[in-house]
Chain A
Amino acid sequence: MLWWLLLLTSFSFAETTSTDERVVGVFYFTPLFGHVHQSSVRTSASLTTIQCSHPLKVLESSKVQSGKDWAYVQVADHKGFVMKEFLSQKRPDCLQGKYPKFFDAVNLDLSELYYWGRLYDHYIQGETRVK
């Protein structure tokens, strides 16, 4: 009897979490490389490394608070956080896409890909206003 009750509770919980999450839209990643973060903090652990023009499903859930600067996203099996300023509704014009053969020849290793993604997490970016 207790087993049945437990099973029933877990089913109902699973249903709540799955139906609560909603796909807001598909957005594209704009920097050269970047990370899907475990939490909405720039220095938080990386779940996966992605590159420019990678499509990301932006999710909305009452259970996840991403903050105003961060988006809760899904990439393949990973659900994590990406800075909103790195997302675009249009497919960006990426260096990898424009010069694929040159980019292949650079032959970046995994450590370089990782650090390149981290670079964009650490940049303090700014722009002065239009006169």
Chain B
Amino acid sequence: MITTFKAKLGLSSLLILISLAAFSETEKLQEEKELEIVNFKSIKKVLQDDGLSEEAQQKEKQIVVLKKEQVKVDNSRYQYPSENELWGFVSEYWLVKNAQLLGWDFVKPDYGIEVAFRTTLEKLGFYQKRFKILLLNTPSMVRASLPGSDGEMILLLSVPFIRSLDLSKLEISLLLLEDYFRMEGGYFKKGAVTDKLTKLSGTNFHETKVDMSMVEELIKNYDQQINVKGYTFQQQFEVTKKMDAFLKGTPDLWNSYFKLLGKIDRFVKTNVQYKDYVKLYPSPEMQVKWLSPDEKVY
């Protein structure tokens, strides 16, 4: 019995060994076959004759070009926006950061300001001009004009100020036109610009740390320019003279503007809530004088 078992065990071991040997032999043969097939040396001449090696070289070149393009695309992800784009972005960021303070997120009726202002601009020959108006529900900030992207401008105006003065649509349009000229004059950008903005805008920060202090500094300058610095007498004089020049052709508009300045002058002198207005926009009284035909102020 034991002898038979030993014989069977021996036979099965032998069979296993034979099958393993056969399997490894088969694998080897396959590899050899593959090697024979992919033996480029043996078919090099055939490949050259078919122009396939040239194609392979071209593909290699294409890969190099594609890799370069990929690097370019990757680098472009680390780009600062252009100066123009940054002005528009920061203006909106400033509005978002001051949303509660400015109170622009409130329900209001359609005052028809867009049509009135657009008509005034067109009447004076300003074509293809894009603007955004944002009405504020606060008396603490009366008006401002901020730079937008692509030559657009953002005009801010306080609804409590409009109501207190009982301004008509035409008068509102004239106020907006003044702010439009201020922005065109570049006074705001001149007052708020930082060295970092000029230096970094449009550049790449790949392999360096992104410098967000550029945005923070600009936001601070916005605060200063809008709430503290305002505009100089010289800038106000230039704006008033520009208004004078453009409105002279349409006497009804000129008269409305002249009356409006007088109205604002009287209002800010008597209303404590708006006492800072004269500091930021000096001064309606002087503007009236600059416009008055009888007096010459140097």
Contact = CB atoms under 8 A, between A and B. Distances in A.
Given A128-B129, A131-B128, A102 B135 contact: no
Given A99-B80, A131-B127, A126 B89 contact: no
A116 interface: yes
Interface residues of B, number: 38
Contacts, number: 89
Interface centre among A98, A102, A127, A131 (most CB of B within 10 A): A102
Contact of A128 (B77, B80, B127, B205): B127
Interface in B85-118: 85, 89, 92-93, 95-97, 99, 104-105, 107, 113-115, 117-118
A115 to B, nearest CB: 4
B122 A128 contact: yes
Contacts of A106: 93, 212, 215
B85 A95 contact: yes
Interface in B14-50: none
Contacts of A116: 92, 96
Nearest to B136: A122
B178 to A, nearest CB: 17
Q: How large is the interface on A (under 10, 10 to 19, 20 to 34, 35 or more residues)?
A: 20 to 34
B162 interface: no
B131 interface: yes
Given A101-B210, A126-B132, 6 more contacts: A98-B81, A106-B93, A126-B131, A127-B129, A128-B126, A129-B127
Interface of A: 32, 43, 95, 98-102, 105-106, 112, 115-116, 118-119, 122-131
Interface of B: 77-81, 85, 89, 92-93, 95-97, 99, 104-105, 107, 113-115, 117-118, 121-122, 126-135, 154, 205, 210, 212, 215
16 contacts: A95-B81, A99-B80, A102-B78, A102-B81, A106-B215, A118-B105, A119-B92, A119-B96, A119-B99, A122-B134, A124-B132, A125-B133, A126-B118, A127-B128, A128-B122, A130-B128
